[in-house]
Amino acid sequence: MKMKKKNEGVKSMKIVCFLLKLVLKILLLPVAFLLRFLCFIWNLLMQLSLWVLSPVMLFVLGCGIYSVVRASWTDVFLLTLIEMGLFAAAVGAGGIMELMERLCECVEDVLTI
């Protein structure tokens, strides 16, 4: 008799767990779609901005080399700061992209449980 009640409790607990997982998946599905869309848009914007940013970085580097030859050290300092800022923006965009990809993978892992 006790064994039968225990089995019924286990079965009802499995049903409750299944229903909770189903509700979680239903709630996370739009979040997963939104995250994937944001990853796509961010990747697209990052690629386009780097097409614009890379010639600017080369131009600033060329101006920096010219300033070194001219021995205009204030300009060298300012151009170095500008170059470092542009490089930091490019690396930061890549880091944000990586974090968004990991977040998307985590949400997809929860959805496939």
Helices 2-70 and 73-111: crossing angle in degrees, nearest 10, is 160
Q: How far apart are CA 35 and CA 55, in angstroms?
A: 31
Across the range 27-52, mean pLDDT stands at 89
Across the range 66-76, mean pLDDT stands at 92
Predicted confidence (pLDDT) per residue in 52-69, tens digit? 889 999 999 999 999 999
Q: How far apart are CA 32 and CA 13, in angstroms?
A: 28
